[in-house]
């Protein structure tokens, strides 16, 4: 395979036999090392973009507190749980586009 990158840094691969050369257009040919670097960069970028989510997941109050409040129909405890969740959402807001 031959590897190319477009203007948006998206990697494309085409057969070496030239059967799809008409699809290459103005993409720039890159080495396997450059391809791997771009893929790792994209993976890191995707991982970093989800940071808010990981922080939320590990910060929410214990689900057992919710279940207990629900089972006992404790409206005060339910509201307290709800407020804690809303505070976490405010502390770690979801970025636009998610």
* Each residue's pLDDT tens digit, 36-60: 999 999 999 999 999 999 999 999 9
pLDDT at 68: 97
Query: Of 33, 43, 45, whose CA–CA distance to 3 is shortest?
Result: 33
CA distance 53 to 40: 21
Question: What residues are paired with 12 via a beta bridge?
Answer: 4
Q: Which residues contact 20 (CB under 8 A, 6 or more apart)?
A: 14
CA distance 59 to 91: 10
Which tokens go with 11?
């990697």
Residue 98 has pLDDT above 80, yes or no: no
């Amino acid at each position: 395979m031959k590897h190319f990158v477009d203007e948006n840094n998206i990697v494309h691969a085409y057969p070496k036999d030239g059967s799809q050369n008409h699809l290459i257009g103005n993409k720039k040919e890159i080495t396997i090392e450059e391809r791997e670097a771009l893929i790792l960069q994209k993976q890191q970028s995707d991982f970093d973009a989800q940071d808010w989510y990981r922080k939320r997941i590990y910060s929410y109050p214990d689900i057992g507190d919710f279940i207990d409040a629900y089972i006992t129909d404790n409206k005060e405890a339910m509201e307290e749980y709800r407020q804690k969740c809303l505070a976490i959402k405010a502390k770690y807001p979801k970025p636009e586009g998610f």
